[in-house]
Amino acid sequence: MAKNKGKNVKNDSQKINELQQFTENNEGEFLTTNHGVRINDNQNTLKAGDRGPSLLEDFIMREKITHFDHERIPERIVHARGSGAHGFFELYKPMGKYTKAGFLNDTKVKTPVFVRFSTVAGSRGSTDLARDVRGFSVKFYTQNGNYDLVGNNMPVFFIQDAMKFPDLVHAVKPEPNNEIPQASSAHDTFWDFISLVPESMHMIMWLMSDRAIPRSYRMMEGFGVHTFRFVNENDKSHFVKFHWKPVLGVHSVAWDEAQNISGKDPDFHRRDLWEAIETGNFPEYELGVQLIDDKDEHKFDFDLLDPTKLIPEELVPVQIIGKMTLNRNPDNFFAETEQIAFHPGHLVPGIDFTNDPLLQGRLFSYTDTQLSRLGSPNFHEIPINRPVVDVHNNQRDGHMRQTINKGQTSYEPNSLSGGCPFQAMMKNFGFTSFLERIDAKKIRSRSKSFTDHFGQATLFYNSQSEPEKIHITNALRFELSKVQTPAIRQRMINLLTQVDKVLANTVAASLGLTAGKPEMPMNHSFPADSDPKDYQPKKVRSSIEASAALSMANTNKNSIKTRKIAILAANGVEETSLINMKKALETQGAMVKIIAPALGMIKSASGKSIAIDETFQIAASVVFDAVFIPAGAKSAAALIEEPDAIHFINETYKHCKAICADGEGADVIEATYIGQNPNDDIEEGVITGENNPGKLSKDFIKAIAKHRFWERETMRKVPA
């Protein structure tokens, strides 16, 4: 038996040879399609002219993105980690001059919406506080069908052409050999790609800024990213950029704070959104548009079709046209938030595309992705995806079909069903594409108007406040310090010289490098009769030096609504001090929690029992926006002896938040780093006092509304 068994056992050499048939080694090889056809341009989609629309016949792009769309199941390939909410949109003024879209012309209608916020790079189980782009997608259930505005919290993107999207995501995702790191761009493959793709430099400035670590989904902007078209009843077109402006302003957390929150509460943003809606503090965002007449398409020093560019608000002001309110949490996370299917190609009459080559690729990718993720071409029949209007067409069957269609015809034209359903052939009744003239040769290239890769990166950096510039610098130092390959670090430092030389030199010094001249990657795609130099990366100086709208220092700072405030207390606290401040804060819309050494009740100095919300064992300063220590000698003495209370205040100070103490509560502050290292020049945001509770609460509320006192960071390091 042993001899017969041996005949069926393959030796090690045979096994290795068979395994090698399925092992790919790309070293020294030409790039090919999955069918072995060599590719001579992996940078650009096939287009009708260098600024024209992408062509369906581009089998290379379709193969590449199809494979990418189906790489992972069941979670989304990107934007896997998300949170959602129901709400409605109200229009401030009719926009009929620019668009025939019904929901943008009737101020009496509340259009239902569902919004999904998300991180991009991480898996469903990753932290909310990763340094990342945030998705900001809105599905409008209009009377003319569903319209999806599928955007991000940043107005630009890393790449100019959808051909590169799989490469970008492959680079930022965990590295394929070890599946490390999760939800992080601080690794070799991401920065290797970025250092070889200089068109990404503007987006890198956004990603390294505080925009990448928002305080809340309720406190971040949203953008449509691409340039779209509005089309009115007379077929007149205007280019349009979409903006969502949060009513509470745009605010962030500190990077050290973000890392701490990831450990303390990785669901921080999800929990914040859920609790705000449950408590009736409904998130609000105003919708704004930038409108450009067709005749002005080429008047800027950048190309409107380039998704790595924004339109400075100083050049084209944002017109606020309506407001979105989120007022209902999902009933079931999976059925709604997880199964909702967005697509930038879900349009209504009056809104249309442009030839942005990144947008053109997305129009193919999103439906293809839903087929894989939701398993059926009938994903539009899932309740959260259904329009509020009736659906009539001849599409039938397929996996998980819900509709039971009657009758014998499933084709058009027909006579057996009286020709139904009919085409909406009357002018302005159904969707018609904008009649844009196209007269061009098929070509794999980009317009030379897309070659400015650094001008707006510099504009963004120059627009930041000094603390924001420091945060960008520190983010780059952190990220590039994680990169193990010296050549990648050097390439990135060299590219940074094209943004700002001081920035480049500061980052370089922390890495033990010297900034040098960048070696620009060769652009192999340009018309045969053109000068190659015209198509190489360059820097075009912006027509404005700085844009106030690009700095969060200029955002709304007039409200403490929904801010989370910690009150630290122990037995012997002065009841009136605690209660009066709590009432003053809650009257302004803040959310207050009392934190003490133990759960249950504490006794005030007058003997009254006060309920405790959390203990120092589970409470963390990083999930609060400010801290108050009420009066009471016995309470203050107990807090001074509580190491977690001292750490709580030190950490609050380190992260530049408002701190307030009443009466003997100031003794607790004196026991912290703040009191042991007095410096009157940097104590802004630390408020103490007694005998005037009205002024104390007023000053504290004003300080909280400022969000942060970032100047503390440059003066000293708090060992919290």
- For residue 216, give both structure tokens: 């809340």
CA distance 274 to 688: 34
Segment holding 106, helix H or strand E: none
The active-site residue, picked from 79, 187, 243, 343, is 79
Q: What angle do CA 569, 573, 578 make, to 5 degrees?
A: 75
- For residue 455, give both structure tokens: 């001008």
DSSP string, 546-568: --GGG-GGGS--S--TT-EEEEE
List beta partners, residue 649: none
- For residue 592, give both structure tokens: 């207050």
The active-site residue, picked from 44, 144, 146, 152, is 152
Q: What separation in angstroms does the CA of 115 have from each of 221, 271, 342, 365, 479?
A: 13, 16, 10, 20, 31
Write the DSSP symbol of residue 452: B
- Which residues neighbour 279 within 8 Å (Cβ) at sequence distance 6 or greater? 591
Q: Nearest Cα to 344, choosing from 330, 327, 329, 356? A: 356
Question: Residues 337, 260: contact at Cβ < 8 Å?
Answer: no
CA distance 301 to 311: 10
In this structure, the chain runs to a length of 720
- Which residues neighbour 532 within 8 Å (Cβ) at sequence distance 6 or greater? 522, 523, 526
Torsion of CA 700, 264, 262, 685, to 10 degrees: 20
- For residue 108, give both structure tokens: 């009496």
* Three-class secondary structure assignment of 28-74: CCCCECCCCCECCCCCCCEEECCCCCECCCCHHHHHHHHHHHCCCCC
To the query of whether residue 152 is one of the catalytic residues in this protein, the response is: yes
Return the number of other C-beta atoms located less than 10 Å from residue 205's C-beta.
28
Q: Which residues are catalytic?
A: 79, 152
